Chains A and B, each alone.
Chain A
Amino acid sequence: MGASVGIGGLIIGTTMLVVFSMVVASIDAKVDTSLQTIDSATEALPVFTIDDATLWEGAVVDVQIGSGGSGYVNGTLVSSTGNGGFAGTFTVNVATGAITAVAITSHGNYSSAPTIVVQGQTPTSSASFVVSIGNFIHSNVTNTGSYITPLREAWLFSDGANPTNLGTVFRTGTNNPHWYSGETLHIQWDESGTLPVERFALSVRGVNMASSLA
């Protein structure tokens, strides 16, 4: 008789334990989900400022090699017309001294396409270049928050259009894919839109800032 009572108690106790463990498991899962929700809600938002934004309508946006010439060594390019501030470099075919590639290091700003020449060399035959000018937006933007922004999350807009990912735009002084707290980026954006362009905007994760172009 006593054994029957004991077995009965054991069955009831085991049943209660099963129910209790199910309750604990459910509450645990619920708490996990709630904590995840709270974590995502407390993630820092991007905070940034557009310190300045300037439109240069006559920037050198492209330099094509018309004729590579011969007898050159790797060197620099300058503008022989105007004082717009263009600068570039070139590399040559070592065997022939012909210019094979050009890189722009400063786009400058001109009222008409400048003449680009090689600086300080006497070639066997001279190279020539085809220059294109267009819109260039220069802007300094500062990350004033604590959120380290991956550049791929940031998008540039001109007059609310032409969305361009910040990660694909030239930035002076850094190739780092992140924009750190307190860091100022100098953006040089070949905007390629049609004139007039009046405003520049930067969007990061739902935070939008805009500025008139000087």
Chain B
Amino acid sequence: MADGGASTFILLITALLVSGSVSAVLINQWGDMSSALEENSKGKEADSKTSVSFAGDAMEVDYDDSVSPNVMTFYLQNTGQYVLDEDTLVVMVDGVSVSSSIIATILPGGASWTEIRLLEVEVSSSSWAYQNDDSVSISAVVSSEVTSGYRGTDTMNIEVRLDV
């Protein structure tokens, strides 16, 4: 009886050790998974609250060919909930990046591109030779300011007609 009790006790201790180890591993794994899910959720939330849209008249985008290099001016509106970071703005015209020549002005005047405000975007390129009424494709990618440790990102694509 004493032998049987000892072996049962050993088995119990072994079972406890094994289940404790498995639980520790499971808890650790779940913690990692939970962190990943949380990060993913916050990233998606930041994306869903980051939005940029073209504003103005797509049929009349100003194009100044009297200066060199030629300058194109259009407007973007912050239509999301997060403050956008104009310094992260990437612009492509007909698929070619012109981000190195962006002059961005927040309207009405302000320090940050908050919800509803416009951003006047002037881009230029010495390789352009567009004419009046030419159609061009404008793409813009912008990120939000860091909010709760995350940046959201949004993209805008539009076909516009130039007004020289």
Contacts and interface: CB of A to CB of B under 8 A. Distances in A.
Contact of B26 (A19, A26, A163): A19
B34 A210 contact: no
Contacts, number: 121
A4 B59 CA distance: 82
Contacts of A16: 23
B144 to A, nearest CB: 14
Interface in B28-85: 30-31, 33-34, 37-38, 41-42, 44-45, 48-49, 51, 53-62, 73-75, 77, 79, 81
A49 to B, nearest CB: 16
Nearest to B156: A206
A203 interface: yes
B19 interface: yes
A138 B113 CA distance: 30
Nearest to B74: A160
B116 A152 contact: yes
A36 B118 CA distance: 25
Interface stretch (A7-15, A92-100, A124-132, A177-185): A7-15
Contact-residue bracket for chain B: 35 or more
A1 B5 contact: yes
A18 B27 contact: yes
Given A160-B57, A208-B55, A29 B27 contact: no
B118 to A, nearest CB: 6
B30 A22 contact: yes
Contacts of B44: 33, 37
A161 interface: yes
Given A4-B12, A163-B55, A206-B53, A36 B19 contact: no
Interface in A6-62: 8, 11-12, 15-16, 18-19, 22-23, 25-26, 29-30, 33, 36-37, 40-41
A209 to B, nearest CB: 9
A206 B120 contact: no
Given A1-B5, A30-B37, A152-B116, A203 B16 contact: no
Nearest to B60: A160
A26 B61 contact: no
Nearest to B115: A153
B68 to A, nearest CB: 21
A22 B5 contact: no
Interface string A161-187: 101010000000000000000000000
Contacts of B54: 206, 208
Interface of B: 5, 8-9, 12, 15-16, 19-20, 23, 26-27, 30-31, 33-34, 37-38, 41-42, 44-45, 48-49, 51, 53-62, 73-75, 77, 79, 81, 107-108, 116, 118, 120, 163
Q: 8 shortest A-B CB distances, which residue pairs? A: A206-B53, A160-B60, A201-B57, A160-B57, A203-B55, A33-B41, A15-B23, A26-B34
Interface of A: 1, 4-5, 8, 11-12, 15-16, 18-19, 22-23, 25-26, 29-30, 33, 36-37, 40-41, 150, 152-153, 155, 157, 159-161, 163, 165, 198-199, 201, 203, 205-206, 208, 210
